[in-house]
């Protein structure tokens, strides 16, 4: 099976414009994303999926600089963007992550993909995002091309088209779903990038861990950092995630 990780990225962002190109430790957020995803052993190809808008030309230039594939599609219908990106790259299995997660844990992502592969006759979709036990920002969704195609053909609401996978996980009678859970619940932790407070926290984590471990530090390294610097927890603890 051809396992393709599709990373949606664009310049437009209401709360923190051009966030994926902000620099942390000398690299863009998108570059950190890709660095960490390249460590996932069971991903065959990484594709940055952006829009056809002229302002997102810079995303294409970044993809070329990072030597990864790219695809351009609809800004608002991200479901169609994923579908056509999957077709172009001959994906049998799609791994969905977003470009605002520069702390994504390659070990966690790899385990979720492997769980899907080991159980692909039982499940159409596996993620750690519905019944959350991992910090927000380690989000990984894995699903078959057939599930994506069915969602593309049947989803009608703007919500389902904008957010790619709600049609799948909202329909357990149609799709066979599974959740990958951590033994300890850390869903209260926010490690995604959407506000200046998020950027301050993620930059602080990188400042303390990146030089020592390059981009190899993982969830447990960050949790241990929180024990040493509990003030980190307060930086973005009041930020609310935008509802789908």
List of domains in the chain: 3-187 (3.90.550.10)
pLDDT band at 14 (very low <50, low <70, confident <90, very high): confident
Q: What is the pLDDT of residue 118?
A: 98
Residue found by looking up tokens 């610097």 in the block: 229
pLDDT band at 237 (very low <50, low <70, confident <90, very high): confident
| Contact between residue 140 and residue 97 where contact means Cβ atoms under 8 Å apart | yes
What is the separation of C-alpha 54 from the centre of its chain, rounded to a whole number of angstroms? 23
User: How many angstroms separate the most distant Cα atoms in the chain?
Assistant: 50
Whether residue 74 is predicted with pLDDT greater than 90 in this model: the reply is: yes
Q: What is the pLDDT of residue 105?
A: 98
| Contact between residue 48 and residue 81 where contact means Cβ atoms under 8 Å apart | no
Q: What is the C-alpha separation between 88 and 233, in angstroms, rounded?
A: 42
Q: What is the pLDDT of residue 240?
A: 80
Whether residue 184 is predicted with pLDDT greater than 70 in this model: the reply is: yes
Helix axes 196-213, 219-228, angle to 10 degrees: 110
Whether residue 211 is predicted with pLDDT greater than 80 in this model: the reply is: no
70, containing H or E segment: strand 69-73
């Amino acid at each position: 099976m051809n396992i393709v990780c599709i990373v949606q990225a664009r310049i437009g962002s209401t709360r923190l414009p051009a966030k994926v190109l902000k620099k942390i430790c000398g690299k863009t957020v998108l570059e950190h994303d890709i660095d960490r995803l390249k460590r996932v052993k069971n991903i065959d190809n990484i594709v940055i999926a952006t829009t056809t808008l002229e302002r997102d030309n810079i995303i294409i230039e970044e993809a070329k600089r990072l030597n990864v594939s790219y695809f351009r599609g609809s800004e608002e219908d991200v479901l169609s963007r994923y579908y056509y990106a999957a077709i172009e790259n001959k994906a049998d299995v799609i791994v969905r992550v977003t470009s605002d997660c520069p702390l994504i844990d390659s070990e966690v992502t790899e385990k979720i993909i492997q769980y899907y592969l080991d159980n692909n006759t039982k499940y159409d979709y596996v993620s750690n995002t519905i019944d959350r036990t991992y910090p927000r920002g380690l989000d990984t969704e894995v699903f078959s091309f057939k599930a994506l195609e069915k969602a593309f053909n049947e989803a009608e609401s703007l919500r389902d088209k904008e957010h790619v996978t709600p049609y799948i996980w909202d329909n357990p009678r149609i799709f066979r779903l599974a959740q990958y859970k951590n033994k300890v619940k850390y869903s209260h932790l926010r490690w995604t990038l959407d506000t200046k407070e998020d950027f301050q926290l993620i930059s602080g984590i990188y400042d303390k861990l990146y030089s020592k471990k390059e981009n190899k530090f993982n969830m447990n390294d960050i949790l241990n950092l929180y024990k040493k610097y509990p003030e980190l927890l307060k930086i973005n603890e009041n930020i609310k995630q935008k509802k789908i």
